[in-house]
Amino acid sequence: MLTALLSFATAIFQQSGKLLADIGMPALNPAHDRFMLCGNDAMLQQLMAMLDQYGFSKANSRSMGHYVIEQAFIEK
């Protein structure tokens, strides 16, 4: 399941934008797109790296960003 989700996310973030174009969606853009991510730590780390690569940043208590992480189930 994780492999399938990461493959899907990778397809969405490909620079060609073909997947989003095929379903009639505009390319992802940090100017207007926001995300809330929830999942296991390995998946979150990979998705955050993808988002960061495309100019998105993680929100925190000091700065508004483009994505937040659901922290309710993160093991410490």
* Residue closest to 37 by CA, chosen among 15, 65, 7: 65
Position 56 scores a pLDDT of 94
Mean pLDDT by 10 residues, the chain (76 residues): 62 68 84 89 87 92 91 65
Position 5 scores a pLDDT of 60
Position 28 scores a pLDDT of 84
Structural domains in the chain, CATH included, are 2-69 (3.40.50.80)
54 touches 30 (CB < 8 A) = yes
Position 2 scores a pLDDT of 54
Distance CA(19)–CA(17), nearest Å, equals 6
Position 59 scores a pLDDT of 94
Sign of CA dihedral 2, 55, 66, 21: negative
